[in-house]
Amino acid sequence: MSIKMPGSRSRHNYHPENEGLVNKQINMEFHAYYVYRSMASFFSRDDVALPGFAKYFKEEAEGEKTHADKFIEYQSQRGGRVVYKTIDKPQRDDWDSPLHAMECALELEKQVYQSLLDMHASAELHNDHHLADFLEDYFLRHQVETLDLVARYITKIKRVGDGLGIYMFDKELQC
C-alpha cells in the first residue's frame, strides 16, 4: 500500500520552470565537482607532482559541492522537490598541462555562470524576487570573481612558461 504525500505547504510563488532550473544547477554543480576532483587527482599523481595545482583544484571541487548543497537546501526551503540526475563524468582524466586544465576550468566556470544568469532571468520573468536575491547574494558575484581569478591564473601560466616557471607558480598555489 502506498501513501500519497500531500504537496509542500511552504511552496509559494515558486514557478515549476524555476524549480527545474534549480535541479539543473544542482546537477551542474556536482558535475563541476567531478571535473575539479579529476583535475586534483591528475596533479596529485607521482608522474605529474604539482601539489599546488592539486590543492587548488581540490579546493574548487569542495566549493562546487558546497554550492550544490546550498541549492539542495534552497529547493527544500522553497517547497520544491530535488530531482537527482545522472552526473556526467569529466570528458577526460588526463589534463595534459596546468595551462590546459586552467583553460578547461575557465570554460566550465563560464558555463556555470551562464546557467546562473539564465536562472536569474527566469526568476525575474516569473517575479520570483526571492530566487533572484538568492542568486545575487550567494552565487553571481562569486562566479564573476572566480572567472577573473582563473583568467589571471591563465595569464600567469603563459607568462612563466614550463619548467622552473610552472614549478614556482605551483609553489605559490601551495600557500
Residues annotated within the binding site are: 29, 64, 67, 109, 143
Q: Identify the CA nearest to 29 among candidates 109, 142, 130, 103.
A: 109
> Quick check: is 72 in a domain?
yes
Domain CATH number, residue 167:
1.20.1260.10
Are 10 and 77 in contact by the 8 Å Cβ rule? The answer is yes
From residue 156, how far is each of 22, 61, 110, 153 by CA, in Å? 35, 22, 19, 5
Residue percentage of the chain with pLDDT more than 70 = 97
The per-residue pLDDT for range 98-113, each reduced to its tens digit, is: 999 999 999 999 999 9
**Which residue ranges make up the annotated binding site for Fe cation?**
29, 64, 67, 109, 143
48 lies in some domain: yes
Q: Which residue range is the domain that position 160 belongs to?
A: 16-81+94-174
Could you tell me the three cell numbers for 172? 605559490
The predicted pLDDT at position 11 comes to 72
4 belongs to a structural domain = no
Please count the structural domains in the chain: 1
- Specify if 42 maps to a domain: yes
pLDDT category of residue 149 using cuts at 50, 70 and 90: very high
